[in-house]
Structure 1
Amino acid sequence: MSTILDLHTHSEASEDSRAPVEAYLNWIKLRAAERPVDGIVLTEHRQFNRDADYRALEDKFGTMVLRASEVETNYGHMLVFGVNDDMTRRFDFADVHLDAQTLIDEVARMGGIVVPCHPGRPNIGLYEHYQSKGPLENVVAVEALNGGSRKGEDERSAELIAKYGFAATGGSDSHLVSLIGLCATKFSAYIKTIDDLVQELKTGNYEAVDFRPRRKPVPHAVAMETR
């Protein structure tokens, strides 16, 4: 039984988002045919709310809600899955200058996994930093598809994945309700908890999936008339 999760989302807990979690889940329910995701992972910027409880919303909408974090490092932005007390004591997630290699290694040692997100994005993506600083060690996966990517960004991510053999994830990076589930990750295994997710992310047995609507090609005759 497979599981499809949007691994990169921001609710109103992030300073640049105004999207309530309940609104996300309602949108997913209404558009299940277009974006068949089984759950979302809240990756709030520079924080981790260990006390947040979404069980009532999960029961109401039949959609799983897991929690992770998006942090900022000297190699760009990264998603931290499997956050626990050891990690939050070791790292100040609000620090925008975390050392990427230390983060990757220490999080792995403490039972989690770090996934660089939107790696093809200028300034805050892994691709650009690899050009100037060289590669990091022990990177298992990077985000191949990001719902907020601009032209060329996903292509740069694909280039990085092909060169270094990373596993590929997908996430909407949604800050608006209507963007939830545009990109996601399909796992071959059944996932129910954050521990399940971390275990599966380490295996590489998954693929990025794209639910963004495709633009219909303009008929040749119409294209000629508009010139």
Structure 2
Amino acid sequence: MIKKFNCKSLIEYTNYAERKYIKPEKAGDLKEDMELFRKKGQAARKIFTEIAKSLEEKLDGFYLQKVSSWMNQGQVARPYLWVFLKQDGDTENESGIALRVFKNEKTKKVGISLEVSFVERKIGENTLERQNKVLDLPIKKPLYYFVQFSKSKENCMLDRIEGNEKNRGKLIEDMKEGSIRKVLVKFNVEEIENFENLEDLSKEFLKGVRLLMPFYLKTKEI
């Protein structure tokens, strides 16, 4: 049976991005607003989890990790929700395939990207070296790079760069010069509201996984 789904709650929650959450019992006049805030966050996480599980069911050997909470440790609404898919035997500091919610700044439409990346707070000694092996492989649209320049996490610049051989060559040179910290490879599924059911959305995700798989496997090489 094809699963119907309604992503309205997930889309609506992106409007709370970077907003501070206060426990309703401590929010005073904002009590009702904070109760709604919490309700929206919980609903968004629930539908995102459902979306991610629909992909997991179609990926042999990959398993969902814990879905991010709807707010960070500072009780600020996350600008996106995310979750990683990993295989048995993968360590926590290795790269995986992640789903990440995003909002197109021009159209304000909400989508979900797939990427080969790692959890920053669990970085290990060889994580960056292995992640940046994604530059060893040829690339073309619809894949693209998401690059963090500078070696400092606190003082860095992030940039989206079109996936083509000219840009790959330039990034390889930048990497040799030490001006790049990490390179992710990404695939976007735009405007999730246009998908009528999880089956169709999952099929679109699978297209991305097939394109990303060589890059993911490259990060596993020692």
TM-score, scaled relative to structure 2? 0.29
TM-score, scaled relative to structure 1? 0.28
Larger relative helix fraction: 2
